[in-house]
Amino acid sequence: MLKINNLHASVDDKAILKGINLVVNPGEVHAIMGPNGSGKSTLASVIAGKEEYEVTEGEILLFDENIDELAAEERAHKGVFLSFQYPVEIPGVSVTNFIKTAINETRKAQGLEDMPAKDMLKLIREKSEMLEIDRKFLSRSLNEGFSGGEKKRNEIFQMAMLEPKLAILDETDSGLDIDALRIVANGVNKLKSKDNAVIIITHYQRLLDYIVPDFVHVLHDGKIVKSGGKELAHELEEKGYDWIKQEVVT
Ligand code: ADP
Ligand code: MG
Ligand code: MG
């Protein structure tokens, strides 16, 4: 599904990613961990195609297609979903209307008609029930006055509605209380199938108690310096990141 070869990327001519290699197959959950400033969010942004990041070397293949030249929107239409670490407020646009527009934009890009209103309602009902989201929430203005937990719930709702092929969740667990964490994890676990993949970016092991990754990668100074199974996350929780830095230096 996703193949990243020797990816180098910079912002304002400052090199941040320094040779990332990563393969993500359908059905897999990958966790990307690492200290603050190691480049985790940059990696997510570069995969999603945010403009301020420049790929200076290497390539990103999505279903064997090089997506380097594609705009963020086009990548989204191909099934890439990136949750936002700092979601924006859009006064006057409800949670429901925002997602309806997003779905119909995607369909348009795929040459499809708008989703019939009846099907849309059914989908909204189904997904909101699954995520324990109430009706009042759906009619509120996007992110306006949302608590941290509500923002996360909305992101997960968007993800569930869009049914992406590749979902990238960046620091989805920061600032979440245990109930919200459970809902996020629930949403991700329900989305998981043999046809889609999830990349979870997290500083902490906590979320990985609920969403068990198949692979864990540690990012340090723009490179993946260690990969392993879910046990690596526990090791990091116990020992912190310093021992990895030591290993890299020696
Ligand atoms: P992480 O998510 O692992 O904490 P980031 O990818 O956010 O790390 O940041 C990695 C480095 O790149 C940091 O030094 C950060 O300051 C820098 N960086 C990231 N995005 C930008 C940007 N848009 N403009 C300037 N510097 C950036
Ligand atoms: Mg950071
Ligand atoms: Mg980050």
Spacing, Cα 41 to ligand 2 middle (Å): 7
Ligand 1 pocket test, candidate residues 16, 40, 174, 245, most atoms within 8 A of CB: 16
pLDDT at 195: 94
Task: Say whether pLDDT at 11 is over 90.
Answer: yes
Percent of the chain with pLDDT over 90: 62
pLDDT in tens, 213-240: 999 999 999 999 999 999 999 998 888 8
Spacing, Cα 212 to ligand 1 middle (Å): 27
Percent of the chain with pLDDT over 70: 96
Mean pLDDT of 154-180: 83
Q: Which of 74-88, 90-104, 172-186, 192-206 has the lowest mean pLDDT?
A: 172-186
* Atom number, ligand 1, closest to the C-alpha of residue 16: 12
Domain boundaries, the chain: 2-249
Spacing, Cα 1 to ligand 2 middle (Å): 26
pTM score, two decimals? Answer: 0.91
C-alpha 214/C-alpha 96 separation (Å) is 33
* Atom number, ligand 1, closest to the C-alpha of residue 45: 6
Strand 65-66 vs strand 54-62: parallel, antiparallel, or unpaired? Answer: antiparallel
CATH of 2-249, one of 3.40.50.850, 3.40.50.300, 1.20.1250.20, 3.90.440.10: 3.40.50.300
Beta bridge partners of 43: none
Task: Say whether pLDDT at 174 is over 80.
Answer: no
Residue 214: how many CB atoms within 10 A of its CB? 15
* Atom number, ligand 1, closest to the C-alpha of residue 42: 6
